[in-house]
Structure 1
Amino acid sequence: MQTEIFGSLHARWYDRWHARKDYQSEVDQLDEVFSQYGPVASVLDLGCGTARHLALLATLGYAVTGVDRSPAMVALARDRIPSVVQADLMDVRLNREFDAVIMMFSVLGYLGTTGELLGALGTARRHLRPGGLLVVDILDGSAVLSNGPMGGFTAMTDGPQTLLRATTGRVHTEEQIYEMGVKLWLISGDRLVEEDAETHSLRFFLPRELDLILELAGFEMIDSAPVGGGQPGPAREWSRLVWARRT
């Protein structure tokens, strides 16, 4: 079990912190996959966060629905997309099928055990029409093992408030887990007004392992590619987009 993540403080600053994340390029990449391997008209995002991907997909004409377990994230997501459901992706049942299911920003990696992985993929399969597409982004195990852990200290200012964030990284090789510690301090003027600490445990994957997991869950691997986008940095270099078809 990992500590509670994406709490209120993290959620409120999430979009500002990830302002440089190239969501448009990622959605263009999704659109290309959908066009090549579809047809795709409806998309379900499991672990949608603040619904940035869904909002852009909606502008392209897709019918979109999101699911996230964080109440703070869902509240923000509904400002963009009304059709967002607050639920744990392991348990949600929407009683309908979609042409594609996406799980972006390492959602699959947050499921550390094989049982959790298969449970989440089971949810995805249950909500896909026969032949529908599953698209996920993952941490590429080869890149993580080659580059080692990251960490740092950064600050972001918005009006009179400043959010300080310290991150630490640790690679658990045998468990295939990248552990990221996050500490947050919100400063208003010269006063500390709020703070929080989170531990994000992300599983990284190797190609043959992922192919086997997808097969066990009822999917056929199609292909993979580096996640679209131009911003530099190790996080981008570690991320890989994978798409598969429901069998």
Structure 2
Amino acid sequence: MKPKYILAAIMMSGSTQLWAAPAPVSEAANSTQTIEQRLAQLESMMKTRNLLQVELQQQLNLLQDEVSQVRGVTEEQSYKLEKVLQRQRELYQEIENRVSKVYEQSSVTTSANVAVNSSQAISSDLSENEAYDRAVALIMKDKRYDAAIPELQNFLTAFPNSVYMPNAHYWLGQLFSIKNNDAQARIHFQDVVSNYPNSNKRPDALLKLGIIFQKENNFEKAKELLNTLIKEYPSTTAAKLATERLGKM
């Protein structure tokens, strides 16, 4: 082989080795930078997840607080309900005691006709007691307010001289108040106030009348009735309620 051809072959071989040389340092740097970027992204994701966990924990704490508050309200309402039920049981017991006394009296009474005066707390007429207790049971036990109204009205007609007249008028006033019929309620409460000065329902009737007149914006009449209640029955619960109402009027 001629020398010039040998030289050319050597040059060609060297150029091939040059072409197959490793990648420059700048390409490796680019590869390293990509890994660092990925690590940074992972760190950012971890931070975001940690923030979400903290936020979820805060929300969980708020929900637990709300559950505790609801539980407290429920317990308070249960306590109040138990008080109402206890009061109803006491009223039922009072009715049962009254009926029992009537039966005891009737068993030892030899006279067929027993005079009833207006100062008696309990009637000696069994049918009268039954009629009244039936009407009260519709209110207190069955909660059948619409049915109790005609029952009490029939009682007033059937037993016009009954010792339960003021109570019957008071209950009718209450029932008409529930139905937002203040005109009828006023009639029955006024009957108690005007005609039964010794009735234990009179303080409550005065309070209810005052409330009705207040609702009708007749504040002068409302104050008059509430002040009368406080003056005549100062130690009653109705008087305390009247004092509070006057303070806000």
The structure with the larger Rg is: 2
Q: TM-score, normalised by structure 1?
A: 0.28
Q: TM-score, normalised by structure 2?
A: 0.28
Which structure has more relative contact order (CA 8 Å, sep 6+)? It is 1
Give the number of the structure whose residues are more often strand, by fraction.
1
